[in-house]
């Protein structure tokens, strides 16, 4: 274990020992007691870095007139029928636990939704688990599948929770770069070159947070072939399945288990937070073949017992009567997406065209700054919060993540500020050069 630093918080190796990160501490002067407590933390707790997303959000919260493109959360309020259904469930006295797996009505509705949308059948009684957001579902899946030493392949840049969830479950994370040259899709060749005899699981997450990339059907079929050949299991986080745009929308989202060879080796993770604007309700689900379902069910039973009751009734109402709201929000995100991508490109920041989720990922290298400095200076000098791209993995270096789940007026003002800032940075670089 790394010795604690003399000054400042103790430092410990990040997931793969490639760099060191600091353990969050409000007390910069470590007392003997704190050192001793730190040394008694589990290796897992010490290894996992704090989230790079919240840090900027917290600094931004202390400043005035900040436009936040930092947080991955819809700016819409949950559709009214969902709110009413949640309130009704409380008023009717449904204030206790539900069945561990979730209310049967919701599991039936999820099963019907996945069947009608993607043609994949899951038995509501033995293959669908309602969870506390996708966050819980992904942790359960890792607990169900990973033993110490098992390797899980995770394409990066990726959502910040994946690596830590695998580490908390005892797995070894092997990141696979997804490059802009390949539209931020991971390739079968890059996956295959990292497979060892310990590789057990491949994690996929498209549409992607942070890049907005989607996985084309041809790429997916190549990946499916190697998954079968190497007998891997797959975790697929499809929380943004309903938020796709342009060609990806015309082609339609490909749900991984709809590829027949993947159905019985995949855990599908889905949720309501993003497409139904329900982040605070904490409701998601996992669909898995029976043996994996059973293992996840056990972990869920002991850890949380059941997802929030009123949120389950709300989600049920969402599936029943709010599909048009989802589409209305999608169209709004699409309009904002086009404005922000054009705006950043016009400001001289090459920006990959995102086709899903609600993020864009501009390349900021022309400013001469690294991602962290760019984000820090942009926040302090222009009051715009973005997240450094390398918070999502090393391939995010040189980029920043900007969420466009905010109003058009704020997006337009943010573009003006970013353009002014980028111009200033380039002028400084020229002056120095
Ligand atoms: C890709 C991805 N998966 C999962 C989550 C967590 O979602 P939930 O609110 O359902 O826990 C997020 C939230 O930002 C996300 O971006």
Domain ranges of the chain: 11-41, 52-77+324-432, 80-321
Phi and psi, residue 294, nearest 5°: -60, -40
pLDDT at 371 over 70: yes
Q: 408 alpha carbon to ligand 1 midpoint, in Å? A: 23
Structure-token pair, residue 23: 């353990």
The atom of ligand 1 lying closest to the CA of 284 is 10
Q: Are 211 and 178 in contact (CB under 8 A)?
A: yes
Is the domain 52-77+324-432 a CATH 3.90.1150.10 member?
yes
Burial classification of residue 406, based on how many CB atoms lie within 10 Å of its CB (0-12 exposed, 13-18 middle, 19 or more buried): buried
Question: How many helices (H) does the chain have, and how many strands (E)?
Answer: 16, 14
Using the 8-state DSSP alphabet, how is residue 280 labeled?
G
Q: How confident is the model at residue 28 (pLDDT cuts 50, 70, 90)?
A: low
pLDDT at 21 over 50: no
Residue 102: predicted pLDDT: 98
Read off the pLDDT of residues 100-117 as tens digits, 9 standing for 90 and up: 999 999 999 999 999 999
Q: 7 alpha carbon to ligand 1 midpoint, in Å? A: 35
Q: Is the CB of 110 under 6 A from ligand 1?
A: no
Share of residues in the chain with pLDDT > 70 (%): 92
Q: 420 alpha carbon to ligand 1 midpoint, in Å? A: 32
Structure-token pair, residue 370: 């690294």
Residue 19: predicted pLDDT: 32
pLDDT at 58 over 70: yes
Read off the pLDDT of residues 275-293 as tens digits, 9 standing for 90 and up: 999 999 999 999 999 999 9
Q: 208 alpha carbon to ligand 1 midpoint, in Å? A: 11
Residue 39: predicted pLDDT: 85
Q: Are 372 and 39 in contact (CB under 8 A)?
A: no
Taking the CA atoms of residue 271, residue 275, residue 281 and residue 284 in that order, the dihedral angle to the nearest 10 degrees is 0
Burial classification of residue 323, based on how many CB atoms lie within 10 Å of its CB (0-12 exposed, 13-18 middle, 19 or more buried): middle
Q: Are 107 and 286 in contact (CB under 8 A)?
A: no
The atom of ligand 1 lying closest to the CA of 279 is 9
The set of residues, in sequence order, having a beta carbon less than 8 Å from that of 143 and lying 6+ positions away, is 169, 295, 296, 299
The atom of ligand 1 lying closest to the CA of 282 is 9
Q: Are 255 and 118 in contact (CB under 8 A)?
A: yes
The correct CATH number of 80-321 out of 2.40.37.10, 3.40.30.10, 3.90.320.10, 3.40.640.10 is: 3.40.640.10
pTM tops 0.85: yes
Question: Greater confidence, 71 or 260?
Answer: 260
Q: 209 alpha carbon to ligand 1 midpoint, in Å? A: 9
Q: Is the CB of 131 under 6 A from ligand 1?
A: no
Angle at CA of residue 286, ends 283 and 290, nearest 5°: 145
The set of residues, in sequence order, having a beta carbon less than 8 Å from that of 20 and lying 6+ positions away, is 2, 11, 12, 13, 14
The atom of ligand 1 lying closest to the CA of 205 is 1
Q: How many CB atoms lie within 10 A of CB 226?
A: 15
Look-up of token digits 């009751």: 309
Question: Greater confidence, 43 or 310?
Answer: 310
Identify each DSSP E strand in 272-388 by its residue range: 284-287, 359-360, 384-385, 387-388
Residue 1: predicted pLDDT: 36
Q: Is the CB of 279 under 6 A from ligand 1?
A: yes
Q: How far is CA 124 from CA 241, 274, 313, 330, in A?
A: 20, 23, 16, 28
Read off the pLDDT of residues 163-180 as tens digits, 9 standing for 90 and up: 999 999 999 999 999 999
Read off the pLDDT of residues 303-342 as tens digits, 9 standing for 90 and up: 999 999 999 999 999 999 999 999 999 999 999 999 999 9
Structure-token pair, residue 328: 């209305």
pLDDT at 372 over 90: yes
Share of residues in the chain with pLDDT > 90 (%): 83
Q: 35 alpha carbon to ligand 1 midpoint, in Å? A: 34
pLDDT at 272 over 80: yes
Tell the residue nearest (CA) to atom 16 of ligand 1. Answer: 209
**21 - beta bridge partners?**
12
Question: Greater confidence, 26 or 98?
Answer: 98
């Amino acid at each position: 274990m790394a010795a604690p630093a003399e000054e400042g918080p103790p430092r410990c190796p990040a997931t793969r020992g490639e760099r060191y990160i600091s353990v969050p501490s409000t007390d910069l002067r470590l007392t003997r007691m704190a050192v001793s407590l730190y040394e008694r933390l589990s290796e897992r707790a010490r290894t996992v870095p704090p989230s790079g997303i919240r840090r900027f959000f917290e600094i931004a919260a202390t400043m005035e007139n900040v436009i936040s493109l930092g947080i991955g959360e819809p700016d819409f309020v949950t559709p009214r029928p969902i709110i009413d259904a949640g309130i009704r469930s409380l008023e009717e006295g449904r204030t206790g636990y539900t069945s561990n797996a979730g209310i049967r009505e919701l599991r039936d509705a999820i099963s019907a939704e996945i069947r009608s949308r993607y043609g994949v059948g899951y038995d509501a009684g033995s293959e669908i688990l309602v969870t506390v957001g996708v966050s819980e579902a992904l942790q359960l899946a890792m607990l169900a599948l990973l033993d110490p030493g098992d390797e899980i392949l995770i394409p990066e840049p990726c959502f910040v929770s994946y690596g830590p969830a695998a580490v908390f479950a005892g797995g070894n994370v092997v990141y696979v770069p997804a490059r802009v040259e390949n539209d931020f899709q991971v390739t079968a060749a890059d996956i295959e070159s990292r497979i060892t005899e310990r590789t057990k699981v491949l994690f996929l997450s498209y549409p992607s947070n942070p890049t907005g990339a989607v996985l084309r059907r041809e790429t997916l079929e190549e990946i499916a072939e190697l998954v079968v050949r190497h007998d891997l299991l797959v975790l697929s986080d499809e929380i943004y399945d309903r938020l796709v745009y342009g060609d990806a929308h015309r082609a339609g989202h490909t749900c991984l288990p709809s590829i027949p060879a993947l159905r019985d080796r995949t855990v599908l993770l889905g949720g309501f937070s993003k497409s139904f604007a329900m982040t605070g309700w904490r409701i998601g689900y996992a669909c898995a073949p029976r043996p994996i379902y059973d293992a996840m069910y056990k972990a869920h039973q002991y850890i949380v017992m059941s997802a929030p009751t009123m949120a389950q009734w709300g989600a049920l109402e969402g599936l029943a009567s709010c599909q048009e709201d989802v589409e209305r929000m999608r169209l709004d995100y699409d309009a904002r997406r086009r404005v922000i991508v054009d705006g950043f490109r016009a400001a001289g920041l090459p920006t990959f065209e995102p086709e899903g989720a609600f993020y864009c990922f501009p390349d900021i290298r022309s400013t001469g700054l690294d991602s962290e400095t760019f984000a820090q200076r942009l926040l302090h000098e222009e009051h715009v919060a973005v997240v450094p791209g390398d918070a999502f993995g090393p391939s995010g270096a040189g980029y920043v993540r900007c969420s466009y789940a905010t109003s058009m007026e704020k997006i337009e003002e943010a573009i003006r500020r970013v353009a002014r800032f980028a111009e200033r940075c380039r002028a400084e670089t020229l002056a120095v050069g």
